[in-house]
Chains A and B, each alone.
Chain A
Amino acid sequence: MSDALLRVVWSPGSDHLTGVCHCGAEYRADGPIEVWQWLLAHPDHEAGIEAADHGASTEAPGHGASVETVGHGASIEASDREASVETLGHEASPEASID
């Protein structure tokens, strides 16, 4: 994959989005704000996320501990992330609106 390509797949039949970073790490999110936050955090993704129905977690290349979030234990709060995402949309930062 390109060194600069970030991809989001909306899986058929699912309400979830799967973010695929150019480093190979993947993350399953419940919405677009969340998935872009995670992708833009590279290389500081807090976790690689495996599909919930796969059970075991896996470690993403070059990243820290993997965490299952979808329907399982730990979840990552957007506010905990370091990446700046204020331009993603009004939800993330009202002051960065398109005005």
Chain B
Amino acid sequence: MVFPRNQWYVAAYGEEVGDGLLARTICGEPIVFYRTRSGDAVALADRCVHRRFPLSEGHRDGDRLVCGYHGFTYEPDGSCVAVPAQKRIPRTARVPVYPVVEQDSLVWVWIGDGDADPTAIPRAPWLAADGWVVVRGMEPLEARYELLVDNLMDLSHETYLHGGYIGTPEVAETPITTSVDEEAGVVRVSRRMKDVECPPFYANSTGIKGRIDRWQDIEYQPPCLYLLHSRIAPAGLEPAPDGDDSAAFHAEIVYGITPSTETTTFDFWMVARDFALDDPEVTTYLAESNRTVVMQDVVALNLLEKVIATEPEGYQELSINIDTGGLAARRLLQRMTDGS
């Protein structure tokens, strides 16, 4: 199983990790998450050292985890403090602990062996900042994570897969500029649309009636964090010379692209907006509409995974200009995987 290792991945939303035991397989590694009484998120290997029983099927005893099979009991640091019917605890009775950091309302877990530097975690500050309202969800994908990366790096598919929501003809027709920062390991794809149709997703949420200028600036920080800086404004409205862009509407579309197994993925999706902050109808509309859009992708990508599973060895894809960013992302991911 090959994934980029020695990397941080989004494992959960902060609110998902609590008193209960949350089981998630990240990059092929089964992990159980919970929160101690002091509020710290904990991640332990979800396999009892004794007979492999998933610890997530056990229960808590205070901050300790008790295996539901034979009662092996573990501290949050992974050390075993009790085994059944004997006092001596084998020296090797310990489960691996995963470094965890909570940042921007996300629970990040380190998959790998190297230095888990928390400053290396990419930021998505809008998710927990004043002046922004967030809707979000997580959809399990029955598809490899690379397919979601491909999908998100080429937004021309919005025109065809998401018509009536976020897709308009101009998305697929507008040229793109792609850049790769080789040192930072970031791929950016920019699509700036002028005087175009406003899709229902933004017309209904912003209240704009006419045509718009629409910016889509992708910033992918592989392997896990994808940002789409979306700017919506009435056609012709440019940011002020001093950079003030408060007259425009902004949505920060965030994805956590987290491989689970070779052919399954956690699709964390988030939409943060800086408009209609006090309007619950807009919140509900964006949550429902965006989930619909995400599910359109889920259906398509699940289908693609099935196609790949049955295709002959050595099948050749065809790439065109719209794939410039996706190819760059693939290369950076491969570099990370090779470096693992």
Shortest CB-to-CB span from B17 to chain A, Å, is 30
Interface centre among B144, B147, B177, B184, by most chain A C-beta atoms within 10 angstroms, is B177
Q: Which residue of A lies closest to B149 (CB)?
A: A98
A12, B321: Cβ atoms closer than 8 Å: no
Q: Which of A15-63 contact B (CB under 8 A)?
A: 15, 17, 31-33, 35-36, 40
B319-338 contacts to A, CB under 8 A, are 319-321, 323-324, 327-328, 330-331, 334-335
Interchain CB contact under 8 A, B175 and A11: yes
B314 within 8 A of A: yes
Known: A10-B324, A32-B324, A36-B327. A89 touches B181 (CB 8 A): no
The answer to whether A94 touches B314, judged by C-beta atoms less than 8 angstroms apart, is yes
B179 contacts A31, CB within 8 Å? no
Contact of A7 among B178, B316, B327 (CB under 8 A): B178
A91 at interface by CB-CB < 8 Å: yes
Decide if B327 touches A32 in the complex (CB within 8 Å): yes
- Are A98 and B144 touching (Cβ within 8 A)? yes
How many residues on the B side are at the interface (Cβ–Cβ under 8 A)?
30
Is there a chain B Cβ closer than 8 Å to A87's Cβ?
yes
B146 at the interface (CB under 8 A from A): yes
Q: Residue on A with the closest CB to B179?
A: A7
Docked pose: A60 CA to B103 CA in angstroms: 45
Task: Mark contacts of B76-116 with chain A using CB atoms, 8 A cut-off: 1 yes-contact digit, 0 otherwise.
Answer: 00000000000000000000000000000000000000000
Of the candidates A8, A90, A94, the one whose C-beta lies within 8 Å of that of B179 is: A8
On whether the beta carbons of B324 and A35 are closer than 8 Å, the reply is yes
Is A3 at the interface (CB under 8 A from chain B)? Answer: yes
The reply to whether B181 and A91 form a contact with Cβ atoms under 8 Å apart is no
Interface residues on A, range: 20 to 34
Contact (Cβ within 8 A) B176 A10: yes
Known contacts A87-B334, A90-B316: A17-B180 contact under CB 8 Å: no
In the complex, the answer to whether A9 meets B183 with C-beta atoms within 8 Å is no
Q: Is A4 an interface residue (CB 8 A)?
A: yes
**Chain A residues within 8 Å of B323, by CB:** 32, 89
Interfacial residues of chain B within 139-179, with CB under 8 A of chain A in the complex: 144, 146-147, 175-179
A60 to B113 Cα, complex, angstroms: 43
* A70 at interface, CB cutoff 8 A: no
Interface string of B215-249 (1 = CB under 8 A from A): 00000000000000000000000000000000000
A79 contacts the other chain (CB 8 A): no
Given contacts A87-B334, A94-B316, contact A17 B327 (CB under 8 A): no
Q: Let me know if A91 and B319 touch, CB within 8 A.
A: yes
**Chain B contacts of A9 at CB under 8 A?**
175, 177
Provide the A61-93 mask, 1 if CB < 8 A to any CB of B, else 0: 000000000000000000000000101111100
Closest Cβ neighbor of B187 among chain A residues = A6
Across the interface, which residues of A come within 8 angstroms of B314, CB to CB?
94
A40 contact set on B, CB distance < 8 A:
331
A26 to chain B, nearest CB (A): 14
**B315–A5 CB distance below 8 A:** no
Q: Does B120 contact A (CB under 8 A)?
A: no
Contact of B330 among A11, A15, A87 (CB under 8 A): A87
B 180-219 binary contact with A (CB < 8 Å = 1; else 0): 1111100000000000000000000000000000000000
Q: What residues of chain B lie closer than 8 Å to A94, measured between beta carbons?
A: 314-316
Q: Is the CB of A10 within 8 A of B175?
A: yes
Which chain B residues border A11 with CB–CB below 8 Å? Answer: 175
A29→B56 CA distance, assembly (Å): 53
Which of B315, B320, B330 contacts A31 (CB under 8 A)?
A: B320
- Chain B, Cβ-Cβ closest to A3: B183
- What are the 5 closest A-B residue pairs judged by CB atoms, nearest first? A87-B334, A4-B182, A4-B183, A10-B175, A90-B317
Q: List 11 A-B contacts (CB under 8 A).
A: A2-B181, A4-B184, A7-B178, A7-B180, A10-B175, A12-B175, A32-B319, A36-B324, A40-B331, A91-B319, A94-B316
